[in-house]
Amino acid sequence: MENERNPLHIFFLPLPAHGHMIPMMDIAKMFATRGAKITIITGPPYATLFSKQIERVNQLGLEFQIQTVKFPSAEVGMPEGWESTDAVTMSQNQHKFAKGLILLREPVLHILEEHRPDCLVADFFFAWATDVAARLKIPRLTFGGESIIAVCAREVIALYQPHKGVSSDSETFLVPHLPGEMKLTRNQLADHVRQVETDVLIRGEASEAELKSYGSIFNSFFELEKDYADYYRNVLGRKAWHIGPVSLCNSDTADKVVRGKEASISSHECLRWLDSKRPNSVIYVCFGSMTRFSSQQLVEIAKGLEASQQDFLWIVKEVKNEEQDWLPEGFEERMDGKGLIIRGWAPQVLILDHESVGGFVTHCGWNSTLEGVCAGVPLVTWLVAAEQFYNEKLVTQVLKIGLDVGVKQWVRLFGDSVKSDRVEEAVKRVRVGEEAEEMRRRAKALAEMARGAVEEGGSSWSDLGALLQELRLQRLASNKKI
């Protein structure tokens, strides 16, 4: 624990997006439980959204506060209040959003100059954060919210450009030098790798700033990605601390309920439905905070779930093009008692941790992937964008705790093109038979490793302790220079 009279004061600057904000809040809580004083810099809408979670942390007697800074929506031509709606607006206004992040530099700098913290933990996309921290003579730690395998693969592809040696977008190429054998196609690479101008600029500047930062924090644990953790540190030569899975800092039901946005269903109602089901009998279907499907794709999912004859809990965000009347006729009546559809936000960790959940159909975003690992459930990977194709390789080929539904192309936001028969087949395979039992056995073992990693003496617990000790020594050295 920190010296209570003079604890480390650490500022956190998360990206204003739910998939980045949620894990960084958990990381801040983990730092606080080890004695650090925490300040989060975010906009008023997110301060409101996370107020209950912060209240829960403060009830534990931890020093945890928020400094608000308004996102310059009007200055960059984005609608006011977009942060409190959904991630679609951000994605559709990416260039404007990037400009807004740059404009946050001066107000954030003024806050930091006023408080003079010992360290700044800033999201990867705040490229200017490294220079600001250097100006204040404090370490800047980078958090990108990605898996270690994804970062390693991205760096190797950028360095060796193996995708330029194939003749078509569908031809496979080997990602060289990585542990294991990762094969991809150009169709599975992100826009910025295929030279979309805005993304190249944003990510390029952020990558340069990351290289100059003090080091990176990963929401992962060594045992999960050990070959890639070693590759990152020993071959790429970068400093890193693996302190996850950070969602495990929320052990109480109340903590799981207030994590993220307010749920569209009461925890009591959700748990009551899950309690009525047999252990490992429910398929949980959720595609994260950003993915949106067309009504046609949702119909295919509904048909596949019905044909699989498995119990399911399905989270549906708003439908693309606002087509609300999309369910097959009579579907909800036929599925009464067998399936539960939640429209909006759901307490994912609470659901996954319930003993009735036996499989997870996921977009394979890193937060969701790790939460599935912690719950010990097999995964069906249904990829959309970002680094999800790299995460799928870890899940299906390295860890062997899941199977893919067959998506072959990176599509940024709106996922489509999977037919009902493939949904039916994947759901059955992950739930029934010897293959499913073997995946479940491996998943349960990984869940035990995950819990052990964050407990006292575990790999993540030790890595966080080592990082805090380095920061204390940095402060001591700084004070001596003064």
Q: 217 with 76, same domain?
A: yes
Q: 458 with 445, same domain?
A: no
Q: What is the DSSP letter of 319?
A: P
Pair 16, 50: CB distance under 8 Å = no
Domain contains 3: no
Domain housing 284: 261-450
Q: 458 with 380, same domain?
A: no
Domain contains 255: no
Instruction: Count Cβ atoms within 10 A of the Cβ of residue 165 and give its class: 0-12 exposed, 13-18 middle, 19 or more buried.
Output: exposed
Q: Considering its fold, how many domains does the chain have in total?
A: 2
Tell me if residue 110 is catalytic: no
Residues 303 and 419: their CA atoms lie apart, in Å, by 9
Whether the model pTM is above 0.75: yes
Q: 444 with 458, same domain?
A: no
Residues 201 and 167: their CA atoms lie apart, in Å, by 26
For the stretch 324-361, pLDDT in tens is 567 888 888 898 889 999 888 888 999 999 999 999 99
Q: 182 with 266, same domain?
A: no
Beta bridge partners of 402: 379
Q: 289 with 179, same domain?
A: no
Of residues 45, 202, 40, the one with CA closest to residue 128: 202
Task: Look at residue 291 in the predicted model and tell me its pLDDT.
Answer: 74
Per-residue tokens: 20: 């980045």
Of residues 91, 121, 355, the one with CA closest to residue 246: 121
| pLDDT, averaged across the chain | 88
Domain contains 254: no
User: Would the pLDDT of 198 be above 50?
Assistant: no
Q: 341 with 391, same domain?
A: yes
Helical segments of 259-347, H only:
267-275, 295-308, 331-334
DSSP 3-state assignment of 290? coil
Rg (CA), the chain: 22
CA distances from 327 to 160, 310, 324, 335 (A): 46, 18, 8, 12
The CATH number of the domain holding residue 215 is 3.40.50.2000
- Say which range, 124-133, 154-163, 176-185, 245-254, has the weakest mean pLDDT: 245-254
Q: 225 with 78, same domain?
A: yes
Question: Parallel, antiparallel, or unpaired: how do β-strands 183-185 and 172-174 relate?
Answer: antiparallel
Domain contains 39: yes
Task: Look at residue 97 in the predicted model and tell me its pLDDT.
Answer: 86
Tell me if residue 20 is catalytic: yes
- Which of 9, 18, 20, 242 is catalytic? The answer is 20
The single-letter code of the amino acid at 440 is R
Domain contains 256: no
Q: Indicate the pLDDT class of residue 236, thresholds 50, 70 and 90.
A: very high
Residues 482 and 462: their CA atoms lie apart, in Å, by 31
Domain contains 468: yes
- Which of 123, 311, 404, 463 is catalytic? The answer is 123
Instruction: Strands of 14-146 (E only): list them.
Output: 37-42, 64-68, 119-123, 140-143
Q: 79 with 183, same domain?
A: yes
Q: 241 with 289, same domain?
A: no
| pLDDT > 90: percent of the chain | 59
Domain contains 465: yes
Q: What is the DSSP letter of 64?
A: E
Backbone torsions φ then ψ of 216, nearest 5 degrees:
-120, 145
User: Would the pLDDT of 317 be above 90?
Assistant: no
In the Cβ-directed half-sphere of 185, how many Cα atoms lie within 13 Å?
A: 12
Q: Which one has a higher pLDDT value, 413 or 218? A: 218
User: Would the pLDDT of 23 be above 90?
Assistant: yes
Q: 232 with 272, same domain?
A: no
Q: 469 with 437, same domain?
A: no
Residues 221 and 226: their CA atoms lie apart, in Å, by 8
DSSP 3-state assignment of 224? coil
